């Protein structure tokens, strides 16, 4: 499949949430991305919300500007990102919204990779050794382990 065909396919199955994720991964605001690809922030917002779909040439510009493959923007059948809960940050004041969005996007990518691995890789069954522990053996363990 040629690059033009992949870009056209990505444009046909474009998912605005994937654009948002790529923008967050890059640590960009909508206005930053718009300036980067020489489009309006309103257009970027419309693509992210799904109100409009970008043309194949715009998808290519977005991919180049965000350093992702055009196929990144295509909708996934079981998109884990939509089912994810919002992350927790210990201090919202010391963490900028841009940093929180970027951290969340990295988490979504990790879930996407894990889901792909589960689909395509068959891992061996877990085989942990089991050894019974006698109560007398607890005396040789450090106090932190025994007391929790």
The tens digit of pLDDT for each residue in 93-108 reads 777 888 888 888 888 8
Question: Nearest CA to 37 among 58, 15, 53, 52?
Answer: 58
- C-alpha pair distances (Å), 31 with each of 41, 54, 142: 5, 17, 57
- Specify the pLDDT at position 44: 95
Structure tokens at 130: 């089991």
The tokens describing 31, both together, are 């206005």
Of residues 73, 53, 75, the one with CA closest to residue 7: 73
Q: What is the pLDDT of residues 10-19, one digit of tens each?
A: 788 899 999 9
Going by C-beta distance under 8 Å and a sequence separation of 6 or more, which residues neighbour residue 54?
11, 14, 43, 47, 62
How large a percentage of the chain has pLDDT more than 90?
Answer: 34
pLDDT tens digit string along 29-65?
999 999 999 999 999 999 999 999 999 999 999 999 9
């Amino acid at each position: 499949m040629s690059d033009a065909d992949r870009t056209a396919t990505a444009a046909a199955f474009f998912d605005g949430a994937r654009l948002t994720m790529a923008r967050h991964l890059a640590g960009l605001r909508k206005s930053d991305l718009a300036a980067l690809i020489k489009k309006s922030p309103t257009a970027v917002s419309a693509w992210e919300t799904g109100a409009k779909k970008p043309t194949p040439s715009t998808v290519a510009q977005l991919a180049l500007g965000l350093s992702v493959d055009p196929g990144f923007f295509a909708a996934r059948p079981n998109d884990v990102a939509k089912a994810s809960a919002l992350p927790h940050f210990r201090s919202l004041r010391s963490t900028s919204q841009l940093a929180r969005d970027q951290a969340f996007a990295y988490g979504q990518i990790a879930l996407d990779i894990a889901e792909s691995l589960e689909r395509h890789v068959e891992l061996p069954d877990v085989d942990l050794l089991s050894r019974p522990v006698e109560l007398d053996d607890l005396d040789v363990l450090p106090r932190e382990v025994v007391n929790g």
